[in-house]
Amino acid sequence: MPMFDPPHPGEVIRTEIVQAHNLTVTAAAKVLGVSRQALSSLLNGQADLTGDMALRIEKAFGPKMDTLMGMQSAYDIFQTRQRARTVRVRPYRAVDTRRPPQAGSLPHNDARLK
């Protein structure tokens, strides 16, 4: 079941990991082995959570990468659904390109039987 307006994963990481461990962004970035700017962008919702960052968070702090990436996916799906009306795509309909048989002709496989 889709979540209604899920938070950006950076918001959760900021409150549940960085703040919960009383870390500064700089200190958390050092623990994760990433730049302060990269972590700050994620925490402020300006960048998506990447698989690499999720793995680093799992190794350093424990939350499973799968859970973190699921949060990103839920966020992305919700944001995209909000824009669904602006996406203009017609449903695909298969076109029958076969020619109708001519009167008196046999189907291709039976042509050898003449």
Yes or no: say if 72 and 49 are a contact pair by the CB < 8 Å rule.
yes
Residue 2 pLDDT: 56
DSSP 12: H
- The answer for residues whose C-beta is within 8 angstroms of residue 101's C-beta and 6 or more apart is 107
Half-sphere exposure of 57 (CA within 13 A, CB side): 25
pLDDT in tens, the chain (114 residues): 555 899 999 999 999 999 999 999 999 999 999 999 999 999 999 999 999 999 999 999 999 999 999 999 999 999 999 999 999 999 999 988 887 767 666 555 555 555
